[in-house]
Amino acid sequence: MEPILQLTNISKRFPGVQALDGVHFDICPGEVHALVGENGAGKSTMIKIISGVHRPDSGEIRIDGQPVEFNNPREATERGIATIYQELSLYPELTVAENIFMGHAPSSQVGPFRKINWGEMFDRAQEILASLNIHDMDVRRKVGSLSVGNRQRVEIAKALSINARILIMDEPTASLTEADVERLFEIVRLLRERGVGIIYISHRLQEVFELGDRVTVLRDGQYIDTKPVSETTEDELISMMVGRTIDNLFPKLPSEVREPVLEVRDLRRRPSVRGVSMQVRAGEIVGLAGLVGSGRSELAQTIFGITPAQSGEIFVNGQKVEIKTPAQAVKLGIAYVPEDRGTQGLIKEMTIRENVSMAVLPELARGGFIDFAREKTLAQEAIQQLNIRATSVQQIVAKLSGGNQQKVVVSKWLASKPRLLIMDEPTRGIDVGAKAEIHRLMSELAVQGIAILMISSELPEILGMSDRILVMREGRLVAEFSRDEATQENIAAAMMSAQMENNHLVMERSAR
Amino acid sequence: MAAVEQQPLQTETFGQRLRAWLTRLVISQEGILLIITIIAMLVLSTQSDRFLTARNLTREAVLLFEVAMMALPMTYIIITGGIDLSVGSIFGMSAIILGFAWQDAGLPLELAIAIGILSGMIAGFVNGLFIVRVGVPPLIMTLATLALYRGMALGISQARSARGFPDWFYEVGRGDFLGLPWQIWILGAAILISAIVLARTSFGRGLYAIGNNELGARFAGIPVDRYKLIIYTFSGFMSGVAAWIFTSRVSTTRSDMGTGIELDVIAAVVLGGTDIFGGSGTIAGTVIGLILIQVLKSGLLLSGVKGDATTVMVGAVLILAILINNLVGRFRS
């Protein structure tokens, strides 16, 4: 069958990272084409290119065989491409019907104004919902009062109101109850019968087998393969998603593991941290793996006092402690290199000098007065030690490259001489050279006896750097592997597929 | 701030360094304002020979005192990205409480002064507490207390004013110390301390960090909530002190004292180059902003310009200063 949409050799580069590199993708009418890959594999970038948010650096997009270029999302919409994002984009204060017809409400000209034909709008909204087998929704209700599942149905109806021929669904089941998932699947099948092409993105592989006709795997922005779902298995998909060779990017040095620096017992902070117990020892790098939303960063921020624990115990060097604020955590020798450099890790408008000293100002100050000479020395040492490429300590951090910005964040926390260093995605979005430098530094710090807890979505990084690996899912630790036991496959399986155990969809699939 | 502390490269000669320093000064926000202020003073001094006299200038400084005292904490608050609209109401309420404690409650005047200032601090603390703990935006919170504190002043005073204070009470408002009015000494000390704290302490650094990126400041272990509580309390304290000294100067308390003064305070701070969105600003800038506004008001008045025309002129110069600064700002970056 002739594809409605065809992407050939698409590449897209963002500063410091090749998001997509020669990717192919196509979709036929009446097909569910699943798109899978790890976090950061390039799925989001690809759907943003299809929906006109980003423009590709190179490559070709064809619709019905005709080359097209989208300058903005509106142009993609006009070509019949609709996207349902993870965060739904509805107006909670408006009615169901208004949301469905946002921007193209049925209207008639009255003098200089356009008058909305409310009756027609409500009727047509009702029709569209009925065509999706949704008969229990009041189109006059405000969207804000609907359940998540119902809001998603409104999104789908909205896509149909513009006669979408291609529907992109990004993790549509991420926040749905099982009953809602079932209804969503019914709707997807209904749309498929009507000839809509559906691009379906999900971390839950069993959904791919439940719904998909074909599946495309991306990894690190590379196109891996496209297969009919009937000709592949879950194991094969996982190994295609993670199957990189681990190169010697990860210079992990042998390190003597000593006494525990941090211990937490049954730590809880609703809704993301649901009873975590673990230890991190001096000289040890513990890798914390898990999908986005599994509660890894939330756990780190609970330990660091940004979102203090609601219950549970924290011990630092064997002493029971209370951590209610980051300042207390810093005093206890805990440092946290956060996930988002730009908003959490740095004050980008300020200088390298001011950023490096930020966490140690109380120690740099005598009677409250900052010792500027020591502050400058500290920043100069940081520039030398971490090989930060900058014109001077007075350079504004925003003007540095991603890798050098990350080094500023790291040197800020090294200045605090931590016992426990928590690193959240320490090498996200930085180039290979800076990445290797940060990995070498982590390894050296562990040898010096610092305890390191590293959160990463890159399995090779987890495998390459960690002495021990913990896997988190839905706010709990679900697996632990030693460095020798761990493989990409068993970590990935612990991160993802164990959802099958308590999901009736598996049974349905075998019954089909 | 960063521009002033820029390290010159070692290879430059002294002359080059001096020139670079002067260039930076001239194109800095403070430098431009200073130049505008000096030009304004020169022009106005040609219009009236009474303007540029020691006598007139000290008189102007005394008139400037209350606004200036409140502009110092306001600079801190605006640097953090906040605002305090309630300063005028706190000012009025503190004065009323001072008078009430002395005249109606019969307390010793020394104690009444302390209670007046303390009530200002508490009012500021309450602002800070709601902003920090409840997360009310500063604009909304202080807009509410602008009405609330003024209402309390009206309620407590019952439209009566306190007067007939003992003679010693008027000393601070009308007397001199070493040949200059007390206000100049107090304001000078307050400016100096505020400037040093902002530029040289970890507290001051924290305020800039909060204004540029509050989340980042929090993640770096800066006690953001405590700092915010301190600055709003400081704002209340300074309004209280200003209320006491103003009462001493005008010898009476009225519940409508300081109505609308918050706009003068904010205008001076913003004119002085503090970014209304937070993150940058200096006490020096605020001081120049204060002087410029006062110079215009007084100079135009002495030149025989009518009162309402003066206000128009002040507004026009504000806009002009901001325009020039924007132009130079583009050149700067």
For chain A, what percent of residues have pLDDT higher than 70? 92
User: Are A361 and B5 an interchain contact pair (Cβ–Cβ within 8 Å)?
Assistant: no
Burial category of B256 from C-beta neighbours within 10 Å (exposed 0-12, middle 13-18, buried 19 and up): middle
CATH number of the domain where residue B153 is located: 1.10.3470
User: Are A350 and B5 an interchain contact pair (Cβ–Cβ within 8 Å)?
Assistant: no
Name the most confidently modeled range: A153-157, A298-302, B19-23, B315-319. A298-302
pLDDT one-digit tens code per residue, B274-299: 888 899 899 999 999 999 888 888 88
Residues B278, B284, B290, B295, Cα dihedral to 10°: -140
Of A306, A336, A365, the CB nearest to B202: A365
Is residue B2 included in any domain, yes or no? no
> Which of A332, A278, A270, A333 has its CA nearest to residue A302?
A270
Residue A326 to chain B, least CA–CA distance (Å):
5
pLDDT: is B325 or B111 the higher one? B111
Helices and strands of chain A, counted as H and E runs: 18, 24
User: Which residues in chain A have their CB less than 8 angstroms from residue B209's CB?
Assistant: 347, 350, 354, 358
> Which of A224, A220, A242 has its CA nearest to residue A489?
A242
- Mean pLDDT, to the nearest integer, of A113-134? 90
User: Are B7 and A392 an interchain contact pair (Cβ–Cβ within 8 Å)?
Assistant: yes
User: Are A370 and B215 an interchain contact pair (Cβ–Cβ within 8 Å)?
Assistant: no
- For residues B156 and B99, the answer to whether their CB atoms sit within 8 Å is no
User: Are A354 and B221 an interchain contact pair (Cβ–Cβ within 8 Å)?
Assistant: no
Cross-strand bridge partners of residue A274 = A268
Of the candidate ranges A403-412, B34-43, B134-143, the one whose mean pLDDT is the lowest: B34-43
Of A338, A368, A393, the CB nearest to B201: A368
User: Are B219 and A338 an interchain contact pair (Cβ–Cβ within 8 Å)?
Assistant: yes
Mean pLDDT for chain A overall: 86
The identity of residue A224, as a single letter, is I
User: Which residues in chain B have their CB less than 8 angstroms from residue A359's CB?
Assistant: 220-221
**Backbone phi, then psi, for A174, in 5-degree steps?**
-55, -40
Q: What is the pLDDT, as a whole number, of residue A56?
A: 92
**Backbone phi, then psi, for B271, in 5-degree steps?**
-60, -35
> Which of B4, B60, B5 has its CA nearest to residue B37?
B60
User: Which residues in chain B have their CB less than 8 angstroms from residue A326's CB?
Assistant: 218-221
Of the candidate ranges A135-149, A416-430, B316-330, the one whose mean pLDDT is the lowest: B316-330
SS3 B253: coil
Structure-token pair, residue B25: 């000064």
pLDDT: is B22 or A163 the higher one? A163
Is residue B322 included in any domain, yes or no? no
CA distance B261 to B162: 21
User: Which residues in chain B have their CB less than 8 angstroms from residue A393's CB?
Assistant: 7
User: Are A364 and B219 an interchain contact pair (Cβ–Cβ within 8 Å)?
Assistant: no
Q: What is the pLDDT, as a whole number, of residue B323?
A: 81
Residue B152 to chain A, least CA–CA distance (Å):
36
Q: Contacts for A503-510 with beta carbons within 8 Å, 24 or more apart? A: A503/A178, A503/A206, A504/A178, A505/A181, A505/A206, A505/A207, A505/A210, A506/A206, A508/A210, A509/A206, A509/A209, A509/A210
The identity of residue A507, as a single letter, is M
Q: How many CB atoms lie within 10 A of CB A276?
A: 24
pLDDT one-digit tens code per residue, B209-233: 999 999 999 999 999 999 999 999 9
Interface-testing mutation among A301, A347, A360, with chain B (most B C-beta atoms within 10 A): A347
CA distance B15 to A512: 86
Cross-strand bridge partners of residue A276 = A267
CA distance A80 to A82: 6
User: Which residues in chain B have their CB less than 8 angstroms from residue A350's CB?
Assistant: 2, 208-209, 212
Q: Is the pLDDT of residue B136 over 70?
A: yes
Strands of A166-170's sheet, edge to edge? A66-68, A58-63, A5-14, A17-27, A222-228, A214-219, A32-36, A197-201, A166-170, A81-84
User: Are B219 and A326 an interchain contact pair (Cβ–Cβ within 8 Å)?
Assistant: yes
pLDDT one-digit tens code per residue, A367-379: 889 999 999 999 9
Q: What is the pLDDT, as a whole number, of residue A150?
A: 87
Strand A214-219 and strand A222-228: the pairing is antiparallel
User: Are A330 and B221 an interchain contact pair (Cβ–Cβ within 8 Å)?
Assistant: yes
Q: Is the pLDDT of residue B78 over 90?
A: yes
CA distance B104 to A74: 70
Interface-testing mutation among A307, A361, A422, with chain B (most B C-beta atoms within 10 A): A361
For chain B, what percent of residues have pLDDT higher than 90? 54
The DSSP symbol for A294 reads: S
- For residues A262 and A280, the answer to whether their CB atoms sit within 8 Å is yes
Q: What is the pLDDT, as a whole number, of residue A363?
A: 87
User: Are A349 and B279 an interchain contact pair (Cβ–Cβ within 8 Å)?
Assistant: yes
The band of B332, judged by pLDDT with boundaries at 50, 70 and 90, is: low
CA distance B229 to A48: 43
Size of interface A-B (CB pairs under 8 A): 81
User: Are B5 and A394 an interchain contact pair (Cβ–Cβ within 8 Å)?
Assistant: yes
pLDDT one-digit tens code per residue, A210-256: 999 999 999 888 899 999 999 998 888 877 887 654 444 567 788 88
User: Which residues in chain A have their CB less than 8 angstroms from residue B212's CB?
Assistant: 347-350
- For residues A326 and B220, the answer to whether their CB atoms sit within 8 Å is yes
Residue A407, CB-side half-sphere exposure with 13 Å CA sphere = 29
Residue B143's domain comprises: 65-313
Q: What is the pLDDT, as a whole number, of residue A266?
A: 93
Residue A154 to chain B, least CA–CA distance (Å):
33
Q: What is the pLDDT, as a whole number, of residue B329?
A: 67
User: Which residues in chain B have their CB less than 8 angstroms from residue A424's CB?
Assistant: none
Is residue B115 included in any domain, yes or no? yes
Q: What is the pLDDT, as a whole number, of residue A63?
A: 92
Q: Is the pLDDT of residue A286 over 70?
A: yes
User: Are B209 and A350 an interchain contact pair (Cβ–Cβ within 8 Å)?
Assistant: yes
The identity of residue B266, as a single letter, is I
Residues sharing a CB contact under 8 Å with residue B14, sequence separation 6 or more, in sequence order: none
Q: Which residues of A touch B (CB under 8 A)?
A: 306, 325-327, 329-330, 336, 338, 343-351, 354, 358-359, 361-362, 364-365, 368-370, 372, 376, 392-394, 396, 412
> Which of A338, A406, A414 has its CA nearest to residue B219?
A338
User: Which residues in chain A have their CB less than 8 angstroms from residue B2's CB?
Assistant: 350-351, 394, 396
Q: Is the pLDDT of residue B202 over 50?
A: yes
Of A306, A351, A370, the CB nearest to B201: A370
- For residues B133 and B236, the answer to whether their CB atoms sit within 8 Å is no
Interface-testing mutation among B5, B10, B202, with chain A (most A C-beta atoms within 10 A): B202
Q: What is the pLDDT, as a whole number, of residue B286?
A: 94
Where b means 16+ CB within 10 Å and e means fewer, A351-386 reads bbbbbbbbbbbeebbeeebbeeeebbebbeebbeeb
pLDDT one-digit tens code per residue, A44-89: 889 999 999 999 999 999 999 899 999 888 889 888 999 887 666 7
The DSSP symbol for A427 reads: T
Q: Is the pLDDT of residue A163 over 90?
A: no
Strands of A273-281's sheet, edge to edge? A273-281, A260-269, A311-316, A319-321
User: Which residues in chain A have their CB less than 8 angstroms from residue B216's CB?
Assistant: 343-348
Q: What is the pLDDT, as a whole number, of residue A183?
A: 87
Q: Which residue of B has its CA nearest to A371?
A: B200
- Mean pLDDT, to the nearest integer, of B29-33? 79
Is residue B76 included in any domain, yes or no? yes
Q: Which residue of B has its CA nearest to A343?
A: B216
> Which of A455, A462, A453 has its CA nearest to residue A487?
A462
Q: How many CB atoms lie within 10 A of CB B7?
A: 10
The band of B6, judged by pLDDT with boundaries at 50, 70 and 90, is: very low
- For residues B108 and B101, the answer to whether their CB atoms sit within 8 Å is no
User: Are A346 and B221 an interchain contact pair (Cβ–Cβ within 8 Å)?
Assistant: no
Q: What is the pLDDT, as a whole number, of residue A502?
A: 41
Is residue B160 included in any domain, yes or no? yes
Of B2, B209, B221, the CB nearest to A327: B221
The band of A432, judged by pLDDT with boundaries at 50, 70 and 90, is: low
Q: What is the pLDDT, as a whole number, of residue A87?
A: 65
Of the candidate ranges A171-185, B204-218, B319-333, the one whose mean pLDDT is the lowest: B319-333
Q: Which residue of B has its CA nearest to A335?
A: B220
User: Are B202 and A361 an interchain contact pair (Cβ–Cβ within 8 Å)?
Assistant: yes
Q: Which residues of B touch A (CB under 8 A)?
A: 2, 5-7, 197, 200-203, 205-206, 208-209, 212-213, 215-223, 279
User: Which residues in chain A have their CB less than 8 angstroms from residue B224's CB?
Assistant: none
Domain count, chain B: 1
DSSP characters over A93-155: TSBHHHHHTTT---EEEETTEEEE-HHHHHHHHHHHHHHTT--S--TTSBGGGS-HHHHHHHH
Residues A162, A167, A171, A173, Cα dihedral to 10°: 70
Of the candidate ranges A199-203, B193-197, B252-256, B313-317, the one whose mean pLDDT is the lowest: B313-317
Residue A409 to chain B, least CA–CA distance (Å):
10
Q: Is the pLDDT of residue B91 over 80?
A: yes
User: Are A358 and B279 an interchain contact pair (Cβ–Cβ within 8 Å)?
Assistant: no
Distances (CA, A) of A39 to A238, A456, A495, B69, B251: 13, 10, 12, 54, 71
Chain centroid, CA A442 distance in Å: 23
pLDDT one-digit tens code per residue, A397-425: 988 877 889 999 999 999 999 999 999 99
User: Which residues in chain B have their CB less than 8 angstroms from residue A297's CB?
Assistant: none
